[in-house]
Amino acid sequence: MIKQHELTGTNGSDIKFHNLRAVLLALLQQKTISRVRLARLTGLSNTTITHLVNELLAEGIIEEIGAEESPTAPTVGRPPTALRLIPTARYAVGVHFGVGSVRVAVTDLLAQPLLTLSLEHPLERPAEEVLEDTLALVRSAIAESGIRPTALVGVGVGASGLVDLERGVNLFAPNLGWRDVPLRDWFADALGVPVWVDNNVRAMALAESMFGQEDHRTEALAFVYARIGVGAGLVVNGKLYHGSVAGAGEIGHTTLLGTGGEPCRCGNVGCLETLFSEPVIVRCAQALAEQAPDGLLAMTLREGQGPLIERVFAAAEQGDSATRAMLAERAHYMGIALANLVNVLNPDLIVLGGLFVQGRRWLMPAAEATMRARAFAGLGERVRLEITQFGPNVGVIGAAALALNSFFYQAT
Ligand SMILES: [Zn+2]
């Protein structure tokens, strides 16, 4: 179901921002739209629309692009002039903290990356040194992209683990060993621009709901990212759902095994992450390879190119049936976690990223079949399951979306 309530404006000068927000969101969602249709969609009067549109035209945020292409029947007489956002009117910087890697992008107003840069670091490197390097990367990205400094909305930071949203502090990142890292102040003090910090997977969910395909604007969307860690970002009624202390979506640490589970880095045992994640899949593959040292998998792990996880997928691609069965078995655990997520949130759409982008063919069928079979009373059959179309850039696009979100919601 397409969400419309955010597009509903109210007339009155004291709530101009609310109306501006409704117009900007309508422009974002409709790509091109006439004044008449803007008025219809937002419920605002023609006078209010004229006023707001003139203001946006004067600020160089939107442009007129000739006649509107009618989505319905052809109109009688001269077709109305269409308006659209100018993608290069504003820019944002997205900073994605992964496990042992940082990716930075400069994006336009529609979250399209103009340029991405990345660095890798050993996990034992102190947070402060990683931040120094990241800051240099952000400065290079801004300089290389050649954007006007005045057009920069700000910097969005997708952090690993738990975040204090008010202070912009990365409270706890178990996969990095970070505690109380003041990300917002660090970047804001050094760059002198507004900075927004949120959990990195939650940022990805925001990007899917704001900048993904049109049918991503649903009542409830979950983005599930699985790589070294596993997490979910939830968008409910068009807004990120954070929970009480911004801990919502930690599905990687839901307990899947009641007894006999492996210890998890979070201190619990039998968590999803101990059953499905990149390190677990690589470990399972290595165990398989030991059983058949002359087999295809063992050979690919020994002699193949690139990260080990890619060699595992390559062995599956080349027809190694034991590898395929192992991947399906691992994906089955993810499917159980997805079924639990479906039962709690009842989403219209779940978008998967990370391992699922590369390993789609070997992970999706088992994860999907388990989710649909195990969810309650047919809820699992109705939910749409997709792989992110942002590919490996979903982290930086998500981080940039944190900054762009402020433009669309608190536009001046
Ligand atoms: Zn855990």
CATH of the domain at 147: 3.30.420.40
Centroid of ligand 1 to alpha carbon of 162 (angstroms): 13
Give yes or no: residues 69 and 53 share one domain: yes
Centroid of ligand 1 to alpha carbon of 254 (angstroms): 7
How high is the pLDDT of residue 2? 47
Beta strand segments in 237-348, E: 239-241
Q: What is the 3-state secondary structure (H, E, C) of 336-367?
A: HHHHHHHHHHCCCEEEEEEHHHHHHHHHHHHH
How high is the pLDDT of residue 411? 52
How high is the pLDDT of residue 238? 84
Output the DSSP codes for 238-303.
TEEE--TTS-TT-GGGSB--SSSPPB-TTS-BSBGGGTSSHHHHHHHHHHHHHH-TTSHHHHHHHH
- How far, in Å, CA of 222 to CA of 46, rounded? 36
pLDDT in tens, the chain (412 residues): 444 555 666 554 557 888 888 899 899 988 899 999 999 999 999 999 999 999 999 999 999 997 766 555 555 666 789 999 999 999 999 999 999 999 999 999 999 999 999 999 999 999 999 999 999 999 999 999 999 989 999 999 999 999 999 999 999 998 899 999 999 999 999 999 999 999 999 999 999 999 998 888 888 999 999 999 999 999 998 889 999 988 899 999 999 998 889 999 888 999 999 999 999 999 999 999 999 999 999 999 999 989 999 999 999 999 999 999 999 999 999 999 999 999 999 999 999 999 999 999 999 999 999 999 999 998 888 999 999 999 999 999 999 999 999 888 765 4
**Rounded to the nearest 10 degrees, how much is the dihedral formed by the CA atoms of 351, 356, 360, 363?**
-110
Centroid of ligand 1 to alpha carbon of 185 (angstroms): 29
Reduced to 3 states (helix: H, G, I; strand: E, B; else coil), residue 174 is coil
Residue ending a domain, choose from 85, 116, 133: 85
Q: Enumerate residues 6+ apart whose C-beta is below 8 A from 54.
A: none
Tokens of 272: 């999803």
Give yes or no: residues 320 and 242 share one domain: yes
Total domains in the fold of the chain:
3
Give yes or no: residues 72 and 57 share one domain: yes
Centroid of ligand 1 to alpha carbon of 290 (angstroms): 27
Give yes or no: residues 264 and 403 share one domain: no
Centroid of ligand 1 to alpha carbon of 406 (angstroms): 32
Give yes or no: residues 206 and 224 share one domain: no
Closest by Cα among 351, 329, 375 to 211: 351
Give yes or no: residues 54 and 104 share one domain: no
Q: Exposed (0-12), middle (13-18) or buried (19+): which is 303, by Cβ within 10 Å? A: exposed
Centroid of ligand 1 to alpha carbon of 251 (angstroms): 9
Centroid of ligand 1 to alpha carbon of 348 (angstroms): 27
By residue range, what is the domain housing residue 110? Answer: 90-210+394-409
Centroid of ligand 1 to alpha carbon of 255 (angstroms): 8
How high is the pLDDT of residue 412? 45
Give yes or no: residues 38 and 81 share one domain: yes
Give yes or no: residues 58 and 133 share one domain: no
Centroid of ligand 1 to alpha carbon of 274 (angstroms): 7
Give yes or no: residues 234 and 153 share one domain: no
The shares of helix, strand and coil residues in the chain, as percent rounded to the nearest 5, are: 50, 20, 30
Centroid of ligand 1 to alpha carbon of 60 (angstroms): 48
Give yes or no: residues 354 and 258 share one domain: yes
Give yes or no: residues 79 and 167 share one domain: no
Give yes or no: residues 134 and 279 share one domain: no
- How far, in Å, CA of 87 to CA of 83, rounded? 12
CATH of the domain at 51: 1.10.10.10
